[in-house]
Chains A and B, each alone.
Chain A
Amino acid sequence: MDLGKPNLEAFANAVRELARQDPSVLVVTSDSRGSGKLSPFGKEFPKQIIEVGIAEQNLVGVAAGLASTGKTVFAVSPACFLTARALEQIKNDVCYSDNPVKVVGISAGVSYGALGSTHHSLHDYAVLRAINNITVVAPADNLEATQAVLAAAKLRSPVYLRFGKKAMPHLPGNPADFELGKARWIRQGTDLVFVACGETVVEAFQAAELLAQDNFSAGVLSVHTIKPFDTQTILDVAGSVRAMITVEEHSVHGGLGEACAALLLEHGLAPKFKCVGIPDEYTVTGSQTEIFQYYGISPSGLAKTARKLLG
């Protein structure tokens, strides 16, 4: 697979493109322009970047105030701090007050690897799913990252965008296939389906290729929009395969897996089911890749889980 850029960089490039066309596009940072790959943006548009220092609560409150005047505002900070420390600002100043801020969590999930749990965001889907009036998006690759930014900018309501920091391979697909709120088929399959989101989609895709060598037909669905949830596509596929495996760079509590499980149960569908994510424990020390491997979020780990489920 061709290696692309980090999704974070695809985001930064897309926002720069938006700013070239529209002076009301603003970026607000909390000493995060470097880690957000936004230094070129800052140089090109010094009047469209607002720095508030290392103060995430203020970052989100200020962004909400800016957005209330009609500006298109991206509030950018590491996901771990943004969706924990500033959660009340996201809940009240952005969502409840309906200020259409694009809340951008960078270096999300376990992107920061060995920096440890202070720097991991494994709770963000769970907390944001439970808050009214926010679209939650975790793009898989550069294509989805770019399209998500463009779609979010058009949306006059709050959005959470979640990006990792490692370079991502290009998955099959074209930009016209991307629609917020609509899961995207990366690969069709008849035996089982991987329902994945964010940077785990590529792991699922590679697992499906391994399984093909064993004559298992595995589909891969990228649920880039975790909220609103594309229930119809998931229900349709759940009725046609023998097994479903959900994959996410998030706690197994409150994320994509539990959303799928509840949906299937409510509709009386019972394919064999496994929720793969980070268990409720102190995360093992290592790089993102090592952590993924340890918890079975890898091509071989997911293929093994699939074989076990399919018998």
Chain B
Amino acid sequence: MFSDRQLLLKSVEYRRQILSIIKASRAGHTGGSLSCVDILNVLYNRILRLSPETFHNPNRDRYIQSKGHSVEALYVVLADCGFFPVSELSTLNRFGSHLIGHPTRKVNGIEQNTGALGHGLSLSVGTAIAGKIDGRDYRVFTLLGDGELAEGSNWEAAMTAGHYQLDNLIAIIDRNRLQITGSTEDVNQLEPLDNKFRAFGFAVRECDGNSVPELVELLEQVPFEAERPSLLLANTKKGKGISFMENSVNWHHRVPNKEEFDRAMDELNAVAAAL
């Protein structure tokens, strides 16, 4: 098992790779990938009972990324975990590449094709119900963006998750509070998000979603309560880890130029050196 320090170093390396592949392919969702990568790091390296060897095992834990646009974070983590060679990351978005700009089952390790918002929770509910029917002990994790919660299908799915008491379902919200137009609260108010999910039957917990120790501590406890789906409100920063990208709508899908990229690498190198 990786130590906490190793996980912290991985988060830095993942951020380097995210920025590198976005810069190389000249496209990508920079801010959202940086906000959710610590969550993916903890899931794949500490929580999920899943590996390239067990990916087709019916008892494996499932991870479905509803906020598909943050695919760069997912590809980087999957490559690091051995689902496909790290060298393939450089083909992102290239003509004919299987590394498409949203999650695709063409890539080993990906459960469902996502990208249109508001789909992951229903898919996860169905997969979790199947687990209950079959008496399997796998868990289904899904990562939702906060902006995507305006899609009504999420709330249809949330109602069903509560109705069927799916304690094998864990939804994590990458609560970075920004979407492409601006603050989620200005666009179409989400708060009180915790109480909304509680009202739908979820057991809700909250943490710093960019804190590896906090994520580990909470995700090791799932389900948070018996006979209830779990909801982790992971409070993150869009663009986390790069000072000039943090909390900036401009970096929703902006690609760093050479100067910005070099500055970002310097910042990440300094973080790594301090670990």
Interface residues, chain A, with chain B CB atoms under 8 Å away: 26, 47, 50, 52-53, 55, 57-58, 60-71, 88-89, 92-93, 96-99
> Cβ of B105 and Cβ of A55 under 8 Å apart?
no
Contacts of B127 in A (CB 8 A): 65-66, 68-69
> Cβ of A53 and Cβ of B126 under 8 Å apart?
no
Contacts of A97 in B (CB 8 A): 105, 112-113, 123
- Complex-state Cα separation, A61 to B125, whole angstroms: 8
Contacts of A69 in B (CB 8 A): 58, 127, 130-131, 134
Task: List 5 A–B pairs whose Cβ atoms lie within 8 Å, in order of A's numbering.
Answer: A58-B153, A62-B160, A65-B126, A65-B129, A68-B112
> Cβ of A55 and Cβ of B156 under 8 Å apart?
yes
> Cβ of A61 and Cβ of B119 under 8 Å apart?
yes
Task: Scan residues 223-264 of chain B and give those whose CB is less than 8 A from a CB of chain A.
Answer: none
Contacts of A60 in B (CB 8 A): 122
> Cβ of A65 and Cβ of B133 under 8 Å apart?
no
Contacts of B114 in A (CB 8 A): 92
> Cβ of A55 and Cβ of B159 under 8 Å apart?
yes
How far apart are B185's CB and chain A's nearest CB, in angstroms?
A: 25
> Cβ of A98 and Cβ of B133 under 8 Å apart?
no
Checking B115, B123, B133, B159 against A68 with a beta-carbon cut-off of 8 angstroms, the contacting residue is B123
> Cβ of A68 and Cβ of B126 under 8 Å apart?
yes
B116 CB–A CB distance under 8 Å: yes
> Cβ of A62 and Cβ of B133 under 8 Å apart?
no
- Complex-state Cα separation, A99 to B133, whole angstroms: 18
Contacts of B112 in A (CB 8 A): 64, 68, 93, 97, 99
Additional A-B contact list (9), CB under 8 Å, known A53-B160, A65-B128, A67-B126 = A57-B153, A61-B121, A66-B126, A68-B127, A69-B130, A89-B119, A92-B113, A97-B105, A97-B123
CB-based closest 6 A-B pairs? A65-B126, A61-B122, A58-B156, A62-B126, A55-B156, A69-B130
Q: Taking CB as reference atom, which chain A residue is nearest B120?
A: A61
How far apart are A41's CB and chain B's nearest CB, in angstroms?
A: 16
- Complex-state Cα separation, A8 to B129, whole angstroms: 26
- Complex-state Cα separation, A52 to B156, whole angstroms: 8
Of A53, A70, A88, A93, chain B has the most CB atoms within 10 Å of the CB of A93
How far apart are B85's CB and chain A's nearest CB, in angstroms?
A: 24
- Complex-state Cα separation, A68 to B112, whole angstroms: 9
Contacts of A26 in B (CB 8 A): 133
- Complex-state Cα separation, A68 to B114, whole angstroms: 14
Contacts of A61 in B (CB 8 A): 119, 121-123, 125-126, 153, 157
> Cβ of B58 and Cβ of A64 under 8 Å apart?
no
Contacts of A62 in B (CB 8 A): 122-123, 125-126, 129, 157, 160
How far apart are B57's CB and chain A's nearest CB, in angstroms?
A: 12
Q: Taking CB as reference atom, which chain A residue is nearest B113?
A: A97
> Cβ of A47 and Cβ of B133 under 8 Å apart?
yes
Task: Scan residues 193-222 of chain B and give those whose CB is less than 8 A from a CB of chain A.
Answer: none
Of B111, B112, B131, chain A has the most CB atoms within 10 Å of the CB of B112
Contacts of A92 in B (CB 8 A): 113-116, 119
Checking A47, A57, A58, A96 against B113 with a beta-carbon cut-off of 8 angstroms, the contacting residue is A96
How far apart are A169's CB and chain B's nearest CB, in angstroms?
A: 38
How far apart are A34's CB and chain B's nearest CB, in angstroms?
A: 19
Contacts of B123 in A (CB 8 A): 61-62, 64-65, 68, 93, 97
Are A66 and B129 also in contact (CB < 8 A) when A52-B160, A55-B156 are? yes
- Complex-state Cα separation, A75 to B250, whole angstroms: 42
Are A70 and B133 also in contact (CB < 8 A) when A65-B127, A98-B105 are? no
Contacts of A89 in B (CB 8 A): 119, 122, 153
Task: Scan residues 127-157 of chain B and give those whose CB is less than 8 A from a CB of chain A.
Answer: 127-131, 133-134, 152-153, 156-157
Are A71 and B130 also in contact (CB < 8 A) when A58-B125, A93-B122 are? yes
